Amino acid sequence: MKRKLSGGQLLDLIDGSLTPCEVLIDTVQGTVLALGTDLPEADETIFLHGEWLLPGLIDLHVHLREPGQTHKETIASGTLAAAAGGFTQVACMPNTIPPLDTPQRVRDVVQRGKAAGAAQVRPIACITRDQQGQELTDFAGLKEAGAVAISDDGKGVQDGGLMREALVIAASLNLPVAIHAEDASIARGGLMNPGAAAKFQVPPLSASAEAAMVARDLLLAEETGAHLHVCHVSAEPTVALIRFAKARGVQVTAEVTPHHLLLSEEAVRLDDGVFKVNPPLRSERDRMACWEGLLDGTLDVVATDHAPHTRDEKAQGIWKSPFGMVGSEFVLPLLYTHLVVLHQWPLQRLMHAMSLRPAQVFGLHGGVLRVGGPADLTVFDGSFKTYIDPKKMHSKGQNTPFAGWPVNGRVRLTLVAGQVIYRETEGTTS
Ligand code: DOR
Ligand code: ZN
């Protein structure tokens, strides 16, 4: 069967131009048959009104919580939330209960992802057994089972010697090692960036806890030739270290979250657990360094670190709430508004960091719309004005500090392999 999208505009990821374009899709093969104007008739045509045709977005950092914490999120709800945000693939972190530390558990998540039929699931498996930082997992078996990277996200691997061993094996398998950089001897259970911590009399979690581990792992990556991927970069020294390492030819990639780009520790309120995230919201200087890092490519990708928690869990204030914020569903309108509309960033820079570059970083298909390639695409209406409304979200978690923020744009349609996995059903006029 053939499906056609008619009336959209194709974004050129190089020069940022938007050109009227139709897309003809082979829904059996799941590929793009043709791009252009006056394309042949199809069995089904979806008519658009000038919306932008973007390569399907790819999120390299989400928490789907299944198995074990399905009250927070399930693979079905998390991948539907991702699809509603325009994502066609998500890499999910292994800090589930039990953690994804065996090939069988990885295969199980892949299977459940396929059954859910929304954004495609690319599991990240554990570096160490049970994420205990003691014993390495079977990297080859995990990769064979479908793991696209390994990570002990949620905590850092504290033992540098073990990390070195991990990088040696990962290098031989060409498997990226995604690090949650947090030196526990510096972090000491801290909760907030030092400024906010002093204001609220809570233990500090300083940028040095992140940067120290990043420095160690950059040295080890240089020595071993492994691909190090630094998760959720939040601090100026970390950006500087990664920039330095890239100039030295270290195989390092890095991600930044929407919350570290748009919020600083000044936003934190003691009584509101929604601001609690790890790494914490940092200083204005750190935030600006993340902007510069993303703009100059030091930080390769935007990843949401979508971390759903229940309302009750997050109602316990800063001391007791779990760390984390959701992000899948509104990151594109949010960053389009703040980076492109309000600060004149080139649209293609943002899109590159949310589609092509993530695909390259974890070696995934997609990231670009081309004839013969997968029909994974996102239809975005940049002219629509709305507010971020957690009640309209598909995630089980509504824990976002961006609730009520005005944004430009909404995702109208998300397709994976030519199948519509999400369709915006509200009114069509702005
Ligand atoms: O804020 C966070 N939440 N940071 C992490 O590293 C883990 C995540 C989670 O699993 O909730
Ligand atoms: Zn993390």
pLDDT along the chain (430 residues), means of 10: 98 93 98 97 97 98 98 98 98 98 98 98 98 98 98 97 98 98 98 97 98 98 98 99 98 98 96 96 98 98 98 94 98 98 97 98 96 98 97 97 98 98 71
Ligand of minimum distance to the alpha carbon of 180: 2
Identify the active-site residue in 183, 217, 305, 376: 305
Q: What is the pLDDT of residue 428?
A: 44
For the entire predicted model, the pTM comes to: 0.98
Determine whether the shortest distance from the Cβ of 277 to ligand 1 is under 6 A. Answer: yes
The Cα–Cα gap between 280 and 294 comes to: 18
Query: Is 305 known to be catalytic?
Result: yes
Ligand of minimum distance to the alpha carbon of 278: 1
Q: Name the residue of 71, 124, 153, 396 to mutate for ligand 1: max ligand atoms within 8 A of Cβ.
A: 153
Q: What is the pLDDT of residue 393?
A: 97
Q: What is the pLDDT of residue 427?
A: 52
Q: What is the pLDDT of residue 276?
A: 98
| Phi and psi based region of residue 79 (left: phi greater than 0; alpha: psi -120 to 50; beta: remaining) | alpha
Ligand of minimum distance to the alpha carbon of 179: 2
Determine whether the shortest distance from the Cβ of 22 to ligand 1 is under 6 A. Answer: no
Centre of ligand 1 to C-alpha 322, Å, is 8
Residue ranges of E strands in 63-102: 87-92
Burial 124-150 (b: 16+ CB within 10 A, else e): bbbbbeebebeebbebeebbebbbbbb
- Burial bucket for residue 416 (CB in 10 Å: 0-12, 13-18, 19+): buried
Centre of ligand 2 to C-alpha 196, Å, is 20
Q: Name the residue of 124, 305, 314, 399 to mutate for ligand 1: max ligand atoms within 8 A of Cβ.
A: 305
Centre of ligand 1 to C-alpha 140, Å, is 26
Domains and their CATH numbers in the chain: 2-53+372-423 (2.30.40.10), 56-362 (3.20.20.140)
The Cα–Cα gap between 86 and 332 comes to: 8
Structure tokens at 72: 């927070």
The Cα–Cα gap between 157 and 285 comes to: 27
